[in-house]
Structure 1
Amino acid sequence: MSKPDPTKPFDAFEKHASEYDAWYDKYKPAYESELLALKQFLPSHPEKLRALEIGVGTGRFASPLGIGYGIEPSEAMALLAKGRGIEVVRGIAEALPFKNQTLDLILIVTSISFFTDPAQGLREAARVLKPGGQIVIGMLDRESPLGQYYVEKQKESSFSSGARFLSAVEVSGLLAGLGYEKLESCQTLSGIPEEIEEVELPEEGTGKGGFAVLSARKPGNRIF
């Protein structure tokens, strides 16, 4: 019997990688709003750190944010990320191919909605982070107005049909339960991304903006 392929749920991204990537050029104000929100919690020079994006996709976030490494289940997406200078390994969040306590920073942007087991993915992130290391998560907040809009439209999209949207409160709870500390948050995207005409400044907290950003730290004395 053949071994199950853990990358199977990402077939849509494999088949439509170029279409996915083109979205960011077409709707730049929304994309740049997301980048701006993520930058609120990232260090000044992440390129000097050993940093990884889980679910790096086509490199649209890792590249401009100075993240040097990526893990990605879709080969087609990974090829585009490599073209943007990212060193990519094919794999999934729940089984990171990195040794314990070897990374300074982990970035996750939207891909947490596609984790088979979000708690295990965040546990793996903690395992590979150094003591005091940082995790930054950008996500669609299911409880926001935009999140509810996407839940209603989910079955109509080839990309989100396989997603399990989470709320920022749920992910914050997972982080706290795993022992992460110093949780901070901000939000952006007041409306539908395709209709946003100007870059939006991030606001504190979650629940209002469709794109939520959470930042937390691995404790210095916690063993995962």
Structure 2
Amino acid sequence: MSQLAQDRGISVDHGTAEDLPLTTNEIDLAALLGVIGYVNDLEMVFSELARVVSPDGHAIVPFCGQMVLFAELYDTAAGQEAYPDTLDWKETYPLEMAKKATWRDVEAVVSELQSVGFTEITTVKTLTQPIETAIETVESPSKGHDDGSWIVVHARRE
């Protein structure tokens, strides 16, 4: 992916979510797309996020929630080494990724963001339908996070 980006003229810096290769207050918008399901220390990741996002800057944190339909599907498939035969899904989520994932509780994510100085936190959700329907449907996001498998948190840094 990084080579493809570089081929398109995009500057790429390599790092980890716990140690971002950016200076303090460097960026106005940061997105951790699916990242928080694959880190051990969420507090450290969000502290680092707060460090690099400038005051009044924004963070977008999309992730698969905990105790939701898709997380349950991924956990079951990872445990059985296969997705159910009844699931007509052309491109399934890689089982190796599902095995490594830690699905996060939305309230815990929001609390951690608040603890490092993010405010004005809002959430939207998608993948609210049964899995068989959700994989064949384009669903617009809606406010909140109570019944969605894919959650997007938006927060502003103080």
Shorter-chain TM-score category? Answer: 0.7 to 0.9
Letter in 2 for 1:166: R
C-alpha displacement of 1:82: 3.7
* Matches of 2:98 and 2:37, distance apart in 1: 9
- The higher relative CO (CA closer than 8 Å, separation ≥ 6) is in 2
Q: Which residue of 2 aligns with 1:92?
A: 16
1:106 corresponds, among 30, 45, 66, to 30
Alpha-carbon distance change, 166 to 86 in structure 1, aligned in 2, over 3 angstroms: farther
Alpha-carbon distance change, 86 to 139 in structure 1, aligned in 2, over 3 angstroms: farther
Q: Which residue of 2 aligns with 1:4?
A: none
Alpha-carbon distance change, 215 to 195 in structure 1, aligned in 2, over 3 angstroms: closer
Q: Which residue of 2 aligns with 1:167?
A: 105
Q: Which residue of 1 aligns with 2:142?
A: 203
Q: Alignment RMSD, CA only? A: 2.1
Alpha-carbon distance change, 152 to 83 in structure 1, aligned in 2, over 3 angstroms: farther
Q: Report percent identity of matched pairs.
A: 29
Structure 1-normalised TM-score? Answer: 0.58
- Judge conservation of contact 1:146–1:209 (CA < 8 Å) in 2: no
C-alpha displacement of 1:78: 2.4
- Greater helix proportion: 1
Structure 2-normalised TM-score? Answer: 0.80
Letter in 2 for 1:135: A
Q: Which residue of 1 aligns with 2:121?
A: 183
Alpha-carbon distance change, 181 to 78 in structure 1, aligned in 2, over 3 angstroms: same
* TM alignment of 1:17-96, pairs within 5 A: 77-83=1-7, 86-96=10-20
- Judge conservation of contact 2:127–2:134 (CA < 8 Å) in 1: no
Unaligned ranges ≥5, structure 2? 82-94
Q: Which residue of 2 aligns with 1:116?
A: 40
Letter in 2 for 1:189: L
